[in-house]
Chains A and B, each alone.
Chain A
Amino acid sequence: MEAQTLYEKLWSSHVVHQEADGTALIYIDRHLIHEVTSPQAFEGLKLAGRKPWRVSSIVATADHNTPTDHWERGILDPVSRQQVETLDANIREVGALAYFPFRDARQGIVHVIGPENGATLPGMTVVCGDSHTSTHGAFACLAHGMGTSEVEHVLATQCLLQKRSKTMLVRVDGELGRGVSAKDIALAIIGRIGTAGGTGYAIEFGGSAIRALSMEGRMTICNMAIEAGARAGLVAVDQTTIDYLRDKPLAPKGEAWDQAVDYWRTLKTDDGAKFDKTVELDAAQIQPQVTWGTSPEMVETVSGRVPDPAGIGDPVRREGIERALKYMGLAPNTPISEIPVDQVFIGSCTNSRIEDLREAASVAKGRSKAPSVKRVLVVPGSGLVKRQAEAEGLHEVFLAAGFEWREPGCSMCLAMNADRLEPGEHCASTSNRNFEGRQGAGGRTHLVSPAMAAAAAVTGHFIDVRELA
C-alpha cells in the first residue's frame, strides 16, 4: 500500500460518500456542544421535524458565558443565563453521552473536558461549533471547528460535507531551552508562516521537540493551528498519548482497550509519505514569545522590539502595522520588555490545564503581584483541573502571590462573561487571540506562555522568565 500521512489515514477511514468534485460526506464520531453555537442548530432541527442521528456521540458543557466567581449567585446577566438554560433544555430533550452543566464538578472548557474524560480518542473525527476544536488533534483525531449550520447538519445526519485538505508537516527538532514551552513553539510557528499560512491545510506537528511534549503541550500547539489558518492540527499517537488516555472515564477498558490501542498505534504518518508542504523549526532557537499587535502573527521574542512600519514596503502590511500600533498604544521600536502590564489572564482552552498551572505557579512561588498590576486571574480549564491544582497546593501559591483563583470557564479569553479588560488596558494573556476588543472593548492583549504571564504579573512588565529563575 502507498505510504500515507496521518491526515490521509483519518480522512479515508471516514468517507461515507463522495461527489464528483471531491466533496465528501465524512462520518462524525464525536460531537462536542456548548451553549453559544448550538441554540439555532437545535431550533432548526426541531423546526424541520428532525431528530438527532446518534445521541451517544454528543458531549456537552456550558463554558463561554459562565461566571468564574460566586457560583452560588448563578448567572447574573439574563442574556447569558438564557443561553445556558437553552442548552440545558436542549440536552434534557434530546440527551447526550455526557453533559457537564454549569456548576457540575466536571464542567469546564469544552476542549479541556473532552480529552480529560476520554471523550476524545485517537482515530475519531471530533467536531464542535468552535474553532479551537483543532485542540483535539493532539490525540491523532481529525478535529476541527464548524459553524452552526454544520452543528445542525451533524445532529441530523452524523456527517459533515467536507473537502479534503492539503497536508503540511511542521517539524520541530531539537531540545527546547529552559523556560520555553509549547506556547512559544506555537507562536514561533505562527510568526514564521503567518495567520493565513495554514489556510487550506491540515497541519501535522512532528519532530523530536513535539514528541518530547506532554499531551498538555501538544494540545496547546494543536489549539493554535487555527491561528495559523489551519482548521485541523495533528500529532501522531505514541506512548505519551496512550498513557494519558488509560483509565479516563469514557476511554475503553479491558479487551476493548487492548483492541483500541492496537489500532491507535497505526495512527502515524508512514515512512516515505509525502506532504504538500514542510516547514522546519529548530527548537533550540525558539525564545519566549510575546505578541505586540492585533493578530497572532504580530509576534516577537521577549528580547525584541515592536516593529517600525516606516521600513515596510507593502502598503497593506504597513497600514496593518500602523493600525495595530495605534490600537495597542505602542510607539515603533519600543522594547517588548518595556511594555507595562495592567492585567494578567492565565487560562483558556490554550493554557488552562494542570501543567500550565504548574508552570505559572513555579514562577509565582515566593513572589507577589507587582503593585502596578490591577488584577491577575487564574482560571482553571475544568473542575477536574481545579481540584487537581488544589490537591497540589497550587491555588495557595497563587493566592499568596495576590492572584485570584477562579472557577473554570472560557472567561477572559473572549470576555463573554463578566471577566474583561477596560479600554486601553494591556493584558499578558495565555489565551489564543489578540484581536481588537477580544478581551473587552479597547483592551490590548499580548499572548504569552503561562510562565511568561506569571513573570509579567510579578514584575509589572514583560520579562524573560529565565531572568527570574
Chain B
Amino acid sequence: MKPFTELNGRVAPLDRANVDTDAIIPKQFLKSIKRSGFGPNLFDEWRYTDHGEPGQDCANRPKNPDFVLNQPRYEGAQILLTRDNFGCGSSREHAPWALEDYGFRVLIGPSFADIFFNNCFKNGLLPIVLPGPEIDELFQQCEATDGYRLKVDLAAQTITRPDGKTIAFDVDPFRKECLLNGWDDIGLTLRHADKIRAFEEKRRVDHPYYFVA
C-alpha cells in the first residue's frame, strides 16, 4: 500500500449528505477484474451528461458543468470535503479505488459509513472525521476562496487552514501506523500465524461442526 504521511493539497467541496458508493462508482464499472483505472468514472452519473460504460474513453464525453469536480477551480483536488454518511451502501472497494485513482488522498467529513471508512485505510486514503461546525467552516472557506488548500499531517494528526488555524483529528493508532508506513495488513497478520493456528485447532475441538470439509 502507498504510505500516507502529509499532504498540502487543493480541496473540492461535495456539499450533499448520504453520498452512496453507487454514486461514487456505478455498478457497470464493477465488472472489471482489475484494481486500477476507475478514476475517469468516479461519480460517473453526476460528472457526465451521457451514460457511461466500461472501456470507454472518457476524455471526449460531455461533462456536467454544474458538478463540482468539473469546475476549473477544483481541478487537481486531492482533498474531498463531504457531508454526513459519505460512502454508505454497497461495500464495493471500487469506491476508494476510484477516489484514489482520481487523485484524492484525504476525505474530510462529519461521518463516514463503516465499511467504506475501513476500505479507505486499505488503499492509502485517509478519511478524517471532524465535528459539524468545523466542517461548516471548511465548506464556507473553500467555496469563498479560489484555490483553497489544506495541509494535512498524519503524524501530528492536524489539519492546518490557510488562515493558520490548526484542527486536531483522531485516528486509530493501529491504522495510523499502517498508513504512515504503507504496511500490508496481510503481512502483519501473518506474523501471528502460530496464534491463528492454535486458535483454529482449539475451535475445531470445541466446535467440530463448524469444520465440515
Contact = CB atoms under 8 A, between A and B. Distances in A.
A binds B: yes
B114 A229 contact: yes
Interface in B10-32: 15-18, 20, 22-23, 26-28, 30-32
Interface stretch (A103-111, A141-149, A401-409): A141-149
Contact of A260 (B18, B55, B175, B209): B209
Contact of B31 (A79, A199, A438): A79
A311 B11 CA distance: 32
Contacts of B33: 39-40, 43, 82-83, 86
B23 A437 contact: yes
B208 to A, nearest CB: 6
Interface string A149-166: 110110011110101000
A438 B22 contact: yes
B115 A121 contact: no
B64 to A, nearest CB: 13
A20 interface: yes
A36 B208 CA distance: 31
Contacts of B71: none
Contact of A441 (B45, B186, B196): B45
B106 to A, nearest CB: 19
Nearest to B172: A21
Interface residues of B, number: 60
Contacts of A231: 114-115
A79 B55 CA distance: 10
A196 B115 contact: no
A123, A196, A416: residue with the most chain B Cβ atoms closer than 10 Å: A196
A16 B195 contact: yes
A76 interface: no
B114 A199 contact: yes
B42 to A, nearest CB: 14
Contacts of A131: 89-91, 115
Nearest to B174: A23
Interface stretch (B72-80, B143-151, B199-207): B199-207
Interface in B165-195: 172-175, 185-186, 189-190, 192-193, 195
A54 interface: yes
Given A196-B84, A416-B28, A316 B91 contact: no
Interface in A93-150: 97, 121, 123-124, 129-131, 144-150
Contact of B23 (A36, A199, A259, A436): A436
A433 B23 CA distance: 12
B22 A436 contact: yes
Given A37-B92, A56-B213, A145-B91, A153 B185 contact: yes
A23 B209 contact: no
Interface residues of A, number: 80
B115 to A, nearest CB: 5
A27 B198 CA distance: 11
B54 interface: yes
Nearest to B83: A316
A199 to B, nearest CB: 6
A435 B17 CA distance: 12
Contacts of A319: 15-16
A348 interface: no
A147 B92 contact: yes
Contact of B22 (A148, A256, A323, A433): A433
B192 A25 contact: yes
Contact of B189 (A48, A65, A161, A196): A161
Interface in B62-102: 83-85, 88-93, 96
A433 B212 contact: no
A16 B196 CA distance: 6
A257 to B, nearest CB: 8
Contacts of A149: 93, 119, 122-123, 185
Contacts of B203: 27
B186 A48 contact: yes
Given A83-B33, A130-B91, A196-B111, A152 B186 contact: yes
A309 interface: no
Contact of B88 (A17, A83, A229, A259): A229
19 contacts: A16-B195, A17-B195, A25-B196, A36-B31, A43-B35, A79-B54, A80-B31, A86-B33, A97-B213, A131-B89, A131-B91, A146-B115, A149-B122, A149-B123, A153-B186, A196-B84, A257-B209, A259-B208, A436-B22
List the 7 shortest-distance A-B pairs measured between CB atoms, nearest first. Answer: A147-B93, A252-B209, A149-B122, A147-B119, A39-B33, A145-B91, A56-B213
Interface of B: 15-18, 20, 22-23, 26-28, 30-35, 45, 51, 54-55, 83-85, 88-93, 96, 111, 113-115, 118-119, 122-123, 172-175, 185-186, 189-190, 192-193, 195-196, 199-200, 203, 207-213
